[in-house]
Amino acid sequence: MNISLRQAKAAVAEIVAIWGADFVYNPDSNSACHYTPQPGSMHESKKVTGCLVGEPCVRLGMDVSTWMGTFSQVWEAKQLPFTNKAGLWLNRVQEAQDGGHNWGEAVAKADELLETLRKAEKA
């Protein structure tokens, strides 16, 4: 069974609702995200929660404890059960988050990617 875009977006929305759209996970935008909380991190945000892709994936029933690398690398290497659109959307969420954007902006940037893809499909 593949996890749909709707399911992925709902799981991400649950995490955003907990921490807030203005939550910034990667404040210096030059360090990697972690799929699970990192108690030893110098960033308070990384001590209390995993990233905006890892936490929703846990809610979707996945074990993220061994994931390393970007979401697209993990998606391919582990053959994660996401539809193509869900995987592309989550990858963009992660890219924006890792670039220092707050979680509301990360979701908006991923939504913009979907809109661009829709327009390209129609062209």
Q: How far apart are CA 94 and CA 64, in angstroms?
A: 14
Q: What residue type is assigned to position 85 of the chain?
A: K
Confidence at residue 27, expressed as pLDDT on a 0 to 100 scale: 82
Confidence at residue 30, expressed as pLDDT on a 0 to 100 scale: 67
Domain spans of the chain? 5-122
Max Cα-Cα span within the chain: 49
Confidence at residue 18, expressed as pLDDT on a 0 to 100 scale: 94
- Stretches where the chain sits below pLDDT 70 are 1, 30-31
Confidence at residue 123, expressed as pLDDT on a 0 to 100 scale: 75
